[in-house]
Each structure stands twice: as C-alpha cells, then as structure tokens.
Amino acid sequence: MSLPVLDYLVLWWGQQPVGVLSIDKGGAMHFTYGADWLADASALPVSQALPKHTEPYDDALCKAVFGGLLPEEAQRIAVARALGISPDNPFRLLAALGGDVAGALSFLKEGEKPPIFDHKTPPSDPLDDAALLALFERLPRAPMLAGEEGIRLSLAGAQSKLPVILSGAGIRIPRAGEISTHLIKPEPLHFAGLAANEAYCLALARAVGLDAAIAEWRIALDRPYLLVARYDRKHSDEGSTERLHQEDFAQALGVPPQRKYAGDGGPVFADCFALLRRAATRPATEVLKLADAALFNLIIGNADAHAKNFSLLCSDDGHVQLAPLYDLVATHAWPELAPKLAMRFGKAATLEEVDKETFALFAAEAKLGAPYMRIRAAELADKIIFMIAGGFEVPGLADMRKVGDLAAGIANRAERLRIKAGG
C-alpha cells in the first residue's frame, strides 16, 4: 500500500510538461507520466529506463534516473550543506537545483512554468579574471552557486563545474530562463595539470577522428580552468540556443550513481553496447563509435571511464546517438589514482593485461569481429602516434611543454597497444 504524497514537482521537457515526480511520507519518490505526454506518439520517454506507460515508477528507478542529475560525492555534500538539505534527499535537492540540469529537463513547483528569457533584459556582467578566480574559490563551499538568489543549476559528477554563457563580451552567469552554452571546470588544487591534461586528451580525440567535446584551456590569474562547449545545446543562425535531451548510461540503465563503477556492480561494456543497440537510431554506427572510445581510453590511460562518463544524446527530431566523448583524462599521470579501468577491456583491467584473447572477449561483448577489433586498435594507435609526432592544435594551450610528458606517455602506450593488436 502506497503512502500519502507529501510533495511533488512537475517534470518539464523544454516548454512541455511530461509528468509528476512525487515524494511520499516515507521518503520514497515516484514518477508518473502525464496523460497528454502518453497520448502523444511523438513524445519520447524521458529515459531508456522509464518507458512510457501509465503506472508510476518506484523509488529505485527515480533515484537512478533523476538522482543521477545531481552532483556526487563531496560536491553533493557541499551543495546540500549550502542549501540546508540532507544529501540523502534527492527530491529536495532537485526542487532546489532542478531548474536547469543536463539535457532538456526541468523540475518545477506546481503552477510554475519554465521561464522564457527576455532578450530585452540587459545581460549580466562578464566575469574578468579576478571575478573568475573569486568564483572558483566560492564553488567548493557552494557548488553550482547553490543558495544564491535566482540560480537553480545542477550537473552530475564529482568534479567542481559550473554552467555559464560564453558571448562576445566574455563569460557570464546565466540569468533566469537563460540557457547556458558552456561549462567551466576549475582545476582542482590537488591535481595540478588536470585542465591541460583534459584539454589535450579531448583535442587528441578530435584530431584522430573521434567525436569529442570542444574544450579550451584557460587561466584566470594563476588558476587554470577548462572551458567546455556544451554538446547538449543547439544554436540557430539567429543566435538563439535550445536545450537537447541527454542521459548518461547509468541513468539509461537504471543504475544509481553510487554504482557507476563496474567494480561496485555497475554497468560493464556488454551492458553499454546492448543499450546502444536498442536505443540508438543507427545502432551499427554508434556501436563502432563506442568501441573506438574504449580503445582510445585504453591508449590514453583513462581509468575513470565509467557508465556516467558516456551518454545518449537526443536531437530535436528524436534521433538518438552516442553523445560526444567528455571527461577524457589520462588518469595514469597521477600514480596515486587507481590504474585499473572502470570497465574492463575484455578481461583486461590495465594495458599490461591486454593480449590476443582480450580483443576476442571485448569483440564478443560488442558483437563485433575479433579481427576487426585488432585492426581498429592498430589503426587508432597509429593515428595517435602520428598526431603526437606531428603536433596538433590544443585550443588555448600555446605552451605544449605543459603536456610534454603526457604526450610522450600516451605515444608509448599507443605503440604498446599497436604491437599487442598485431600479435
């Protein structure tokens, strides 16, 4: 027997109401699609884990899908403290932060509608380097600027980040109803070089033909940061911006954030490939893109490529594809970080463990041929070696000496994988 409803939020997709997210007196969340959304054949489910039907979804799936939109780990604790809310209450956190989350969804109180930005309103002041540095110093205490008047922003992940707008005048904080265009990721003080590392890996991915987020290395006085263009946005020729729907693989598979790692019982590559085959509009193409992503992460030494670091992106016409790659970091650059892959490549948890059988096992997970995987691994490794040897553009990073050791290490790993693939 269900308990009485304590409170609820209306879930919106853009300017259209989708359904209701409620919390009962026992603290459990439930989600129910609205009748109009169910009746509209063109209206898509908000998640692969929440197909359209009349019955309400239970607390576990709500926490996996909607709780997966919230900050994680220390970021979540800090934002909850700033708001005076329990970090274990995703409903209240969504009520406070859910005005602008990843993708196209919004969570609003009854009677509220997603604000439409009035372009006649004077823009907010651009942030100079001093203001940016002050912002970076404020974010650990108030992630997403939680608690500041008129700001209701949320992004998943454990790293500090903030949605912003980049215009000709510079970087600005979005006003009510204004759609962010970029993310800023301040470099953590305890991981020197992280911003340059990620900028390099993203640029390298694009240089070898992979679809990856566009990012620029910048510095505010003495604090480096990454400025990342949001891929879940569509920009018109007239200058307007629209939000596109996305969800990460953990959400799509109904897995809560605390189980995002395979070692904690979370998704493995076989689950991810199966998801793409049933969700993508052109699954054959998207499966190959995910296989390339797995190879690339193996080569650069990104051990943190878990289920929340891959996403599905839905265009405004309903086309579903693998989202551009993001959070590409060569984590092997920090010896204190775990070297084992978040999702094994076949049976291998490290590059050293890769052998001929490994390619066969991974190919089986992807339902691809083992010879193809070995050939593609060698091709991608060759491209990476060539690009590193010849140099390629890393936006904002004029001094490539900042990543000299990183580049040499990745080239070495690429050569080792090329040899293993040919064996």
3-state SS record for the chain: CCCCEEEEEEEEECCEEEEEEEEECCCCEEEEECHHHHHCCCCCCCECCECCCCCCECHHHHHHHCHHHCECHHHHHHHHHHHCCCCCCHHHHHHHHCCECCCCEEEECCCCCCCCCCCCCCCCCCCCHHHHHHHHHHCCCCHHHCCCCCCCECCCECCCCEEEEEECCEEECCCCCCCCCEEEEECCCCCCCHHHHHHHHHHHHHHCCCCECCEEEEEECCEEEEEEECCCEEECCCCCEEECEEEEHHHHCCCCHHHCCHHHCCCCHHHHHHHHHHHCCCHHHHHHHHHHHHHHHHHHCCCCCCHHHCEEEECCCCCEEECCECCCCCHHHCCCCCCCCCCCECCECCHHHCCHHHHHHHHHHHCCCHHHHHHHHHHHHHHHHHHHHHCCCCCCCCCHHHHHHHHHHHHHHHHHHHHHHHC
- 399 catalytic per annotation: no
Query: Which amino acid type is present at position 277?
Result: R
User: Exactly one of 248, 304, 355, 399 is catalytic; which is it?
Assistant: 304
Q: Mind telling me the catalytic residues?
A: 304
